[in-house]
Structure formats: structure tokens, C-alpha cells
Chains A and B, each alone.
Chain A
Amino acid sequence: MDASLTRSATAGIVARAQDLFEDLSFNAAREWKAAKPGRKVVGYMPIYVPREIIHAADMLPLGVVGGGDQLEVIHGDAYYQSYICRIPRSTIELGVSGRLDFVDGMLFPSICDVIRNLSGMWKMMFPDVYSRYFDVPQNYRDEIGGNYYVNELAELRHDLGELRGKPITDDELRHSIAVYNENRKLVRELYAFRAERPWQAPAPEVYLVLRAGLVLPVEEHSAMLRDYLAAARAEERPMRDNCRIVLTGAFCEQPPLNLIKSLELAGCYVVDDDLLLVTRWLTADVPTDGDPLRNLATSFLHQSESTAAKYEPDQKEKGQHLVRAVKKSGAEGVIFAAPSFCDPALLDRPMLQHVLKDAGIPFIAFKYAENSGQMQPIREQAGTFADSIKLWSGA
């Protein structure tokens, strides 16, 4: 393939993803909704909701992950004290400024106390919108946490069926599971490709392409992933003398895109991360035969990512997911980047750091806010880290 053509293919896809990222009015989702009468959109927050059920109701699952650094927060600040992270206030801002006025439902997964309370605020502030706190089990036994979860899923299925005016069938669910299996497979491929050739799939691009999956219909997003992978594979880009790092702690409030860019500019290739976990929460295919809700539950219990919002019952396992991520991606170090005032990420951090220390994996840590402007300190810190890793690995 002609190099200039493939370059434009990558750039074109990334540009589309960037447009979606910057569009704080969610026009793509609005257009999708307007295209056919009766269509509905259900928003959800990080980290995980079963998008399959929303999809099975013919609705568009819409990821809402705060306002980023382009949104001017005018009203939201009146709802939160200064010592609370940014994401709830910018999400409220999106709500009160009418940017989510087309959304028919909102799901608040159980991540932390802030999101939990936000779910109640949403009920008060937008009483006409279906909203639900989506609890997940912290007990991972099939007959305990599993049964509970199946019933929670059944409630969600029932509610969304009502919202649509027609119950969701098992076959619809099975179909949606298959569609999302395909999407997750592509995301895993993308991550594997980046871990192998991070210069071919720069972290900011991977992030944007992944993020597009929050606002696009899943079928369209899978096509985008396929195209991007093909284009990125075909495009030769220069390999830099960067070190390879895993970025962790950024599972909820998103870092500014500039932060991700700065890491690479500072000499760190991101080869794995915990950004936008919803897109790869389930780590293996969900079976498409049998009881679909049970299958979703079983996958959640036994084949899902580890993160600070999830209890780790086994002390020996605590933090091992990170060690494994480092090994699997061939990383040389870990960067902890957590939103300021984020209890789950920041309380988890010391434990994870102990595990890394024992495993001999170097790390650094800093905090950010979704609207952090100054990247210089982070760049310097990451640069120094990259240098020390190179020195250390050369020794």
C-alpha cells in the first residue's frame, strides 16, 4: 500500500474519533436517535455496565465520562465542594446545560461514594429520566454473588423493556452479546498490537479510537477498530527510544488527552492502561448459548478486570493483575496517575506499589484533574522516569 495513503487512513480515522471526543453535545448520538422514531439512548458512567442489555433493547448505550478540559464548568461547581473530584461536577454540568437532554436513561455503576451519591442527585435533578444505581456483587461465588447479579440484570432488563415498550427477549440478548464479543475481541487485538508495536499505535490515538466506542453504535465502532488496526499495521512509523510503561489509576475521571500525549513525548510508550475499562471489562468471550443473563453474570464474576472498585478476596492476588499486565505487555515500569481526591484509586495505590516493589518493577505516581492544564511537571517527572528506566535496563 502507498505509505501516504495509509497515513491518511490512520489520520482520517483518528480525526473522526477526535471530532467525536470534542463534541460535548453528543451530536453523533443525537443523530442516531433522530434517524428513526422511537429510538432511545441510555447513558452510563465508568467503569462497567452491561451494554449488551441496552443494545438488546435497541437502544444506544452512551458513555458519559465527565467533561474533559474543554468544558467550562459554570453550574457544576455550585454542587460540589472543592475537595471532590471533577467528574461528578462536569457531569452535572453536562446535565444542567442541556447537553444530555436527549438521553432517556442514566446508569450509575457502583464505583465509589461520589458516583453513588451522584445517582441520587440525578434522580432529584432529572426526575423524568430513568436512572438507576447499578450495583455489582463483591462476592464472586456463582450461587451467591452470581444469583444476586442475575436478578439485578433481570431488573435492568425489565426496566429497559418497559422503557422500550416491549420486553427484551433472550435471543435479542444473545445477539447483543455476540456483537459485543466481537467488539471486545477487536479492542483486545488493538491492545495487543500496541503492546507489540507501540510506535505504530500511539497511546493518544488508541485512546481516541477506544473512546469513540462510548458514543458510537457498537457495530460502527467495531468497523472503526478494524479499519484503524488495518491502517496502523500498514503504516510504517519511526520507532523511538522510549521506555514501555503501564498506566494505571485512571479508570474513572479521564486524564486530559494532553496528559497521554505528554507521556509519549516524555519518552514513555503506554503499552497497557486502565482507561475506559468498560470497553474491555470482560476479558473473554461471553458464551452465546444458554441463559444470557447467567452468562453475563458468570463472565463478570470470573472473567473481568481488576480495579480499585472491586474487592480482592485473596490477599495473594492483590495487585497481581498489574504485575501480569506489566509482563504481558512487556512493560518496564508503571505510572500511577489518579484523579485528585479519588479515594478508590489513591487508597489502592500504596498496596499496588508494595506489590510492584516486591516484583522489582519501577513506578512513579502523580495526580491529575480532567481539566489540568499544566503538563510541564508531569512531563518532567515522566521524562526522568523514562531516563532512569533506560539507564537501569542498560546496566
Chain B
Amino acid sequence: MSRVIVTPKAAAKEVLKDASMQKQKDMMAGHYDRLTSAPETGAKVASTFVPGNLNELIMCFDLVNNLPEVNAIQSGLRRQSGGYVLEAEKIGHSEDVCTYVKSDVGMMAKGNIAPNGKKFPNPDVLLLSYTGCFTFMKWFELLREQYKCETIMLHTPYMGDGKITPNMVEYMVKQLKEEVIPKLEQVSGVKFDIDRLRENLKKSVTAEEDLVWVLQSAKNKPSPIDAYFGGIYYIGPIFGAFRGTDDAIEYYKFLREEVAERIAEGKGPVTPDGDMGKEKYRLVVEGPPNYTNFRQFWKMFYDEGAVVVASSYTKVGGVYDLGFRHNPDKPLETLAEYCLGVYTNRSLPMRIDMLSNYINEYEADGLLINSIKSCNSFSAGQLLMMREVEKRTGKPAAFVESDLVDPRYFSAANIKNRLESYLQMIEQKRAGSKAA
């Protein structure tokens, strides 16, 4: 092994256990420092979105990647988003719209402070590469109004008929060749080098392999990971600013080793309160989590012995477990196919298939939907999804409601009640099937 982990105090096992977490922490801290020191270092900054991001390409131009959604998540976790949302509403945004946008806009209005306490730099370019949500388009129009910087649109058609057609790929490749790349060259002053892109893509594949291995480890009983709450940490590097880097390769390698060890020891997932107790329920979860009360939300699950074995949210930045890998031999086509294939760009029937398959493959007890008040992209249609998945799998489904980063829409008592009655329903179902 080429890596050296310097944590002298810890025993070997704990070193391994902490390695991925520590690594991710360092990566994130380093990233935010790179971002906030851009004015001094002269680094150019590209803002872009998580679903359909082109990190491998962005890196070809030495641009530092800033992700407004991740900033909104950070604000949510740090309990600042509530204030930001109110600020955005004060300056004219409707209470009805996506709270990610409002958190971001509010943060801007309040000085644009990054998690490291320093100011975010203004973006040099807004790369409107997005999939599966129209709000993104409006979001960058709103940011462009403020920053008055170059905005590049990469339009990803929607997989309405459940398939990627040659016309879609051709359209996207043409946009990449004739719009995105020339403009990125212009903004960055760096000439595009397709071999550099291939190199980055190659690195992506390595990390993608390990990520999939980790996600699929939840097929074990007990599951060594929580594929929703824990999964959110696991997807951080690959969905964010690190896909295509050595850092990501290393992170996923550590992670895979840790998980392998947990399987060998017959352990369940790690939670904020340490190792989870006995696995009593295995769930599949659809929809984004709530970030303002994230730990409280998670605790409701692990206190009951409920572990999430698969989730759709961990596929918003790429559906790798269904087989997609970036292909260095077809660099631009692969970027197009990546964008086209992310979860929210998949038609509703595709989403239903995916969730039903998860329930079967991961031997889950049922489906839980966290419906997000301000996210139409996920939420519109979820009631039908729920009924359809129930019908197909014969497993019960349930619905809770919250919001991503607006604390006004998190009702702990309500969610806890619903979760408890859902778990009881699962118990009854089990008792019923035993009796039968």
C-alpha cells in the first residue's frame, strides 16, 4: 500500500475506520481554502451544479469548482439556512420556491461567507450544466444577474421516454464542442487538451468502481453502511469537486477497506452515536434528506434499528450502480451520457423501476419517501410512485414530509410518529406472512 496514515495515537483498526472520514474532512477543508483564497492565488472559479456536473472537464481548465447546492447543504447543516431563506424572502423571493435557491441567494445577500469563515469569491463563470430540474436554470439566471459573469448553458434533454437517443447525445456533444469548451477556454485562458480530459476520466472510473462496491455492500445482512444518511457522506467527493482526482481515488479506497472490515466483523453502520445496534428494519428511501435537522432525523431511524440499504438521493450525481462508468475512450460522449443518466433526469417509470428493484435486490422491508416541500423535481409524482412500488413489491411504503434547508418545515414529532407507525406496519406484515 502506498499511503501512509499518520495518526500515531490510534490503533491500526481505528486508523482505518477514521481514514476515509478524515480524508474527506481534509479534502473539503482544502477545497474551501482553494476557493476562498482564489482572489490571492488568481485561481478562476466556476460555479456549477451537482447533477450533471462536468468536473473532469472543469479541471482541464484549472478552474476551481464551486457548487451552490453544496453550499446550501452546508448552510443547512450549520443551521444558517433558515436565516438565509428569510433574507431571500425579504428581498422579494416567493415563499413557494426551492429553498436551495433561497438559501444561496440569502447567503449572498449576507456577505457570501464560506464554511471556513472567509468570503466566497465571485464566480468567473457560471456553468449551467444541470440535469433533471428546471430550477437550476432560473437559479443561474438569478446569480448571473448579480455577478454579471459569463454563463454557459449545457442543456441536457430529459429522458422522458426512458431512453437516451443518438439525437440527445449528438446535441450535447455539439454543445460541449461548440459552446462549453470554447467558452471555458476563453474564461480560463487555458487551451483544451483532450488527453488531459481522458486522464481525469480514467481516474473517475477507479473511484466509481469503489463507490459502487461500497453502495452494494448494503446487500449484506446486517448492512455495514447506511446508504442514505451515511451515504450522503460517501457521495460527497464523487458528486462534488473531486471526481477525476487522486484524492477521490484514495478516499474511496479507504472507504472500501473500512466497509470490508465492517462486513468481516459482522458490524452494522456507523452512526453519529457510534456503531448502530441490531438491524431490525431494512428500508429503501426516496427523496432528498432534511439538512437542518439531519442528525435528529437520522437518529429517529437508528434508534429504531432501521437502516437504509438503498436510496435514490445518492444517485443524483450519477447512477453508477446500474452500470454507468465514464469512458475515457469517448470523452465527450461519456460526459453527455453521464448527464443524461443521473437520477432526476430519469422518467418517473424509470424511477419506479429502480426503487422496486432496490427493494428486491437489497431485500428491504419497504419504501420510505421523504417528500421535500420545495423540490418539485423530486416530489411531484411521488404519491403515485409510492403506490406503484407497493403494488409491485408487495412491501409497504410510507410518506414523510420535510424540507431540505428550511427549518420551518421540519416537524420532528410528526415525522417520528409516522416513522413509528410505518415500522409497526412492517412488523404486522411480517407477523402476517409468518402466520400465513
Contact = CB atoms under 8 A, between A and B. Distances in A.
A112 interface: yes
Interface stretch (B22-30, B95-103, B192-200): B95-103
Interface of B: 91-94, 96-98, 101, 128, 132-135, 137-139, 141-142, 144-145, 148, 151, 153, 155, 157-158, 160-161, 165, 167-168, 170-171, 174-175, 178-179, 347-352, 371, 373-374, 376-377, 379-384, 388, 401
A156 to B, nearest CB: 12
Contacts of B142: 347, 350-351
Contacts of B351: 120
Contact of A343 (B98, B148, B171): B98
Interface of A: 78-81, 83-84, 88, 108, 110-114, 116-121, 123-125, 132-133, 135, 137-139, 141, 143-145, 147-148, 151-152, 155, 308-309, 311-313, 315, 318, 338, 340-344, 346-351, 353-354, 367
Contacts of A342: 96
Contact of A135 (B135, B160, B382): B160
A141 B98 CA distance: 30
A350 B171 contact: no
B383 A81 contact: yes
Given A124-B352, A141-B179, 8 more contacts: A113-B134, A119-B347, A120-B160, A133-B160, A139-B155, A148-B168, A343-B138, A344-B138
Contact of A139 (B92, B141, B179): B179
Contacts of A132: 160-161
A132 B383 CA distance: 21
A124 B93 contact: no
B146 to A, nearest CB: 10
B141 A113 contact: no
B343 to A, nearest CB: 13
Contacts of A117: 348, 376-377, 380-381
Given A120-B160, A133-B347, A315-B144, A113 B133 contact: yes
Most buried by A among B133, B142, B158: B158
Contacts of B158: 110, 116, 133, 135
19 contacts: A79-B381, A83-B379, A108-B160, A112-B134, A113-B377, A117-B380, A118-B381, A120-B381, A123-B349, A133-B160, A144-B171, A147-B171, A148-B174, A155-B165, A155-B167, A315-B144, A340-B96, A347-B101, A349-B94
Contacts of A118: 380-381
Contacts, number: 167
A121 B348 contact: yes
Contacts of A340: 96
Contact of B381 (A121, A148, A312, A346): A121
B376 A84 contact: yes
B415 to A, nearest CB: 15
A135 B157 contact: yes
Nearest to A349: B94
B102 to A, nearest CB: 10
Most buried by B among A112, A116, A308, A340: A116
A112 B132 CA distance: 10
Nearest 9 CB-CB pairings of A with B:
A133-B160, A120-B348, A347-B138, A148-B171, A117-B381, A138-B155, A346-B94, A113-B376, A113-B377
Most buried by B among A117, A124, A349, A354: A117
Most buried by B among A121, A147, A349: A121
B179 A113 contact: no
A110 B98 CA distance: 19
Most buried by A among B348, B352, B371: B348
B161 A121 contact: no
Nearest to A154: B167
Contact of B379 (A84, A351, A353): A84
B317 to A, nearest CB: 18
A254 B258 CA distance: 55
A351 B97 CA distance: 14
Contact of A152 (B145, B167, B376): B167
B145 A318 contact: yes
B377 to A, nearest CB: 4
Contacts of B91: 350
Contact of A141 (B144, B178, B388): B178
Nearest to B374: A83
B376 A343 contact: yes
A341 B95 CA distance: 9
B96 A124 contact: no
A315 B144 CA distance: 7
Contacts of B128: 311
Contacts of A318: 141, 145
Given A312-B141, A346-B94, A147 B348 contact: no
B129 to A, nearest CB: 12
A138 B349 CA distance: 25
